[in-house]
């Protein structure tokens, strides 16, 4: 079967994902603070810049990008009152039994293995930093999906760091020995548009 679906360039999706987060008031630095809190006890020399670089790596993954774009779109449509009844009321009120927000965010963390899954569970329960802010927002803003998506990004970035730590250990190094742009080796590929 011939598939003539238009292919969207990766860079376009990556940029759209970052723009969506920023539009919703979520900076990479705010997510990095959570990642730092999760991983600094286990990683000598880890800095916020290393954490930001790890988040950048996570945001290049299609699984995460798609989850983020879908979730943010639904939050925004709900804010504009554009969902149909009863989904509008369910998303608007972040109904206790509505678990699709967690399910989408959890689905995206599987890419990064068990450390990402357990970290996501921890963040979902304890809601630190910007996750807490998003969860307790007052007024018209709706963050039903966004708080879980941020937990997902932070969990994935934490897992990447944990795995990178093991690689460093095997080379007799720690995060003290590497610059942020060396956090994820694939970012050093020559000519990579990232």
Taking the C-alpha atoms of residue 146 and residue 102, their distance in angstroms, rounded to an integer, is 10
Cis peptide before 86 (omega within 30 of 0): yes
Q: Which span sits near Mg ion by CB under 5 A: 71-79, 82-90, 98-106, 181-189?
A: 98-106
Q: Which span sits near Mg ion by CB under 5 A: 15-23, 76-84, 115-123, 140-148?
A: 140-148
* Minimum distance from residue 190 beta carbon to Mg ion (Å): 41
Binding test (CB under 5 A) with Mg ion, winner from 51, 101, 120, 155: 101
* Minimum distance from residue 101 beta carbon to Mg ion (Å): 4
Q: How many chain residues interact with Mg ion (CB under 5 A)?
A: 4
x-marked contacts with Mg ion along 45-84 as a string, rule CB under 5 A:
----------------------------------------
Cβ–Cβ under 8 Å, residues 175 and 46: yes
Q: What is the DSSP letter of 186?
A: G
Closest Cα partner for 150 from 135, 160, 164, 140? 135
Cβ–Cβ under 8 Å, residues 184 and 161: no
* Minimum distance from residue 139 beta carbon to Mg ion (Å): 17
């Amino acid at each position: 079967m011939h598939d003539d679906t238009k292919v969207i360039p990766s860079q376009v999706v990556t940029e759209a994902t970052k723009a969506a987060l920023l539009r919703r008031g979520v900076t990479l630095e705010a997510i990095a603070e959570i990642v730092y809190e999760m991983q600094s006890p286990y990683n000598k020399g880890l800095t916020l810049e290393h954490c930001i670089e790890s988040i950048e790596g996570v945001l290049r993954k299609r699984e995460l990008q798609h989850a983020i774009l879908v979730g943010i779109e639904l939050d925004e449509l709900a804010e504009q009152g554009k969902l149909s009844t009863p989904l509008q009321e369910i998303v608007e009120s972040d109904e206790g039994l509505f678990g699709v927000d967690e399910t989408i965010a959890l689905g995206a963390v599987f890419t990064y293995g068990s450390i990402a899954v357990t970290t996501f569970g921890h963040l979902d329960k304890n809601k630190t930093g910007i996750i807490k802010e998003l969860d307790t927002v007052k007024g018209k803003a709706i963050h039903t999906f966004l708080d879980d998506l941020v937990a997902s990004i932070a969990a994935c970035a934490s897992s990447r760091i944990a795995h990178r730590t093991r690689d460093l250990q095997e080379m007799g190094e720690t995060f003290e020995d590497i610059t942020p742009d060396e956090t994820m080796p694939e970012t050093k590929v020559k000519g990579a548009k990232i």
